[in-house]
Amino acid sequence: MAEPTLAVVGATGSVGTVMLELLSSRRNVWGEIRLIASARSAGKRLSCRGEQLTVQEITPEAFDGVDVAMFDVPDDVSLEWAPVATAHGATVVDNSAAFRMEPDVPLVVPEVNPSVLKHRPRDIVSNANCTTMAMIMAIAPLHHEYGLRELVLASYQSASGAGQLGVDTLHDQLTKVAGDRLLGSRPGNVRQAVGDDLGPFSAPLALNVVPWSGDLEPLGWSSEELKLRNESRKILGLPALKVSATCVRVPVVTGHSIAVHAVFGSEVDAEGARQVLRNAPGVILVDDPESGEFPMPIDAVGTDPSWVGRIRRAMDDPRALDLFVTGDNRRKGAALNTVQIAELIAAEGLPGR
């Protein structure tokens, strides 16, 4: 059987670039790799698997002969072009939020729920939100051991979660505030130093944390907070799971972190949880407070697993655990999970239906 053809749609973006790096470093299961992006990026040359590939403009014809198409584009672009790709015979693995909660589109994390990949009537598979992804890698094995009942979450989301503009905005703001030791000690002086350079954020991110990420939803929730609830329910197959989340932007370039309070159906203990996580795929346990070893984004950046630590039984509930999780939001949180799903589809024997 001929090796399948893969398309990377959004190949010139920050996550698309990581996808190409992963395709170059992982076991090769692909024949032709086709790079697709908007008209303004067409003609660019990008490296993948030791070759220089030319980016094509996204058109219906660009999907001719494609078996699997990995999409990393805005929601509206996925909504428009994913059906075009499937009409041309491709199975789409989509990293946007466009299809995640559609009942006939599986939401897949290969280490957690690979079996749902078998049923994809629209030939579209969704990738989870990057914050959900980091957290679910640790929570899923604990759920399988103890039976999850409730989650209370606080996220600490990096600037790169808002794309390259978020990263550039943070660096620009840090340049403006560097060296002034009075900043942050008086009302309003950080805002004055930063000026109107807010980029995708609603307030200055340098020397600050912003308790908001996403769009405003009913009852004061943000879209990022609802994603944590809704996607966790779907991935774990727990439609009634109680979830409460607060999402916060922090002045970190890459790496989303989550403080987790998890309530289970049976009594838990910290050492038992550590043993479960030591054996969990896609997880690194970093939990030695006496030695100052904690999971932190500066260590997780550039790596694939979720880093987990600060594990302790809740103060007032023997059925609850508190823990801290961090991971590179552009790798497992986006590019790697998409690549893993695509590889599973390729392993089925194509076409992926």
Residues 255 and 288 in one domain: yes
Cα atoms found within 13 Å of the Cα of residue 20, Cβ hemisphere only: 25
The pTM for the full model equals 0.95
Catalytic choice (48, 130, 143, 247): 130
Question: pLDDT tens digits, residue range 47-79?
Answer: 999 999 999 999 999 999 999 999 999 999 999
Cα atoms found within 13 Å of the Cα of residue 56, Cβ hemisphere only: 14
Give the pLDDT of residue 349: 77
Q: Is 256 labeled as catalytic in the residue annotation?
A: yes
Residues 146 and 261 in one domain: yes
Q: Is residue 340 situated within a structural domain? A: yes
- Spatial CA neighbour of 153 closest among 287, 59, 258, 300: 258
How many percent of the chain have pLDDT more than 70? 99
Q: Is residue 353 situated within a structural domain? A: no
83-102 in b/e form (b: 16+ CB < 10 A) is ebbbebbbbbbbbbbbbbee
| Domain ranges, residue 220 | 132-329
Give the pLDDT of residue 352: 39
CATH code of 63's domain: 3.40.50.720
Catalytic choice (88, 247, 256, 261): 256
122/107 Cα distance (integer angstroms):
13
Number of domains in the chain: 2
Q: Is residue 103 situated within a structural domain? A: yes
Residues 249 and 299 in one domain: yes
Residues 268 and 190 in one domain: yes
Q: Is residue 29 situated within a structural domain? A: yes
Q: Is 144 labeled as catalytic in the residue annotation?
A: no
Residues 172 and 43 in one domain: no
Residues 64 and 163 in one domain: no
Residues 338 and 311 in one domain: no
Give the pLDDT of residue 345: 97
Residues 191 and 249 in one domain: yes
Residues 68 and 142 in one domain: no
Q: Is residue 70 situated within a structural domain? A: yes
**Residue 307: how many other CB atoms lie within 10 Å:** 26
Q: Which residues contact 292 (CB under 8 A, 6 or more apart)?
A: none
List C-alpha distances in Å: 275 to 39, 73, 154, 296, 311: 50, 38, 24, 20, 11
List C-alpha distances in Å: 346 to 3, 90, 92, 254: 9, 11, 12, 30
pLDDT of residue 341 exceeding 50: yes
Q: Is residue 305 situated within a structural domain? A: yes
List C-alpha distances in Å: 90 to 21, 85, 97, 128, 353: 22, 5, 19, 20, 10
Give the pLDDT of residue 350: 54
Amino acid at 342: A
Question: pLDDT tens digits, residue range 213-265?
Answer: 999 999 999 999 999 999 999 999 999 999 999 999 999 999 999 999 999 99
Residues 22 and 165 in one domain: no
How many percent of the chain have pLDDT more than 90? 97
Mean pLDDT (the chain, rounded)? 96
3-state SS class at 62: helix
Q: Is residue 1 situated within a structural domain? A: no
Q: Is residue 152 situated within a structural domain? A: yes
Q: Which residues contact 1 (CB under 8 A, 6 or more apart)?
A: 349
213/96 Cα distance (integer angstroms):
16
Question: pLDDT tens digits, residue range 113-131?
Answer: 999 999 999 999 999 999 9
Give the pLDDT of residue 1: 63
Query: Partners of 157 in the beta sheet?
Result: 249
Give the pLDDT of residue 2: 83
Question: pLDDT tens digits, residue range 140-176?
Answer: 999 999 999 999 999 999 999 999 999 999 999 999 9
CATH code of 221's domain: 3.30.360.10
pLDDT of residue 353 exceeding 70: no
349/353 Cα distance (integer angstroms):
9
List C-alpha distances in Å: 248 to 17, 194, 205, 270: 26, 19, 11, 27
Residues 141 and 217 in one domain: yes
Cα 236 from chain centroid (whole Å): 16
Residues 160 and 123 in one domain: no
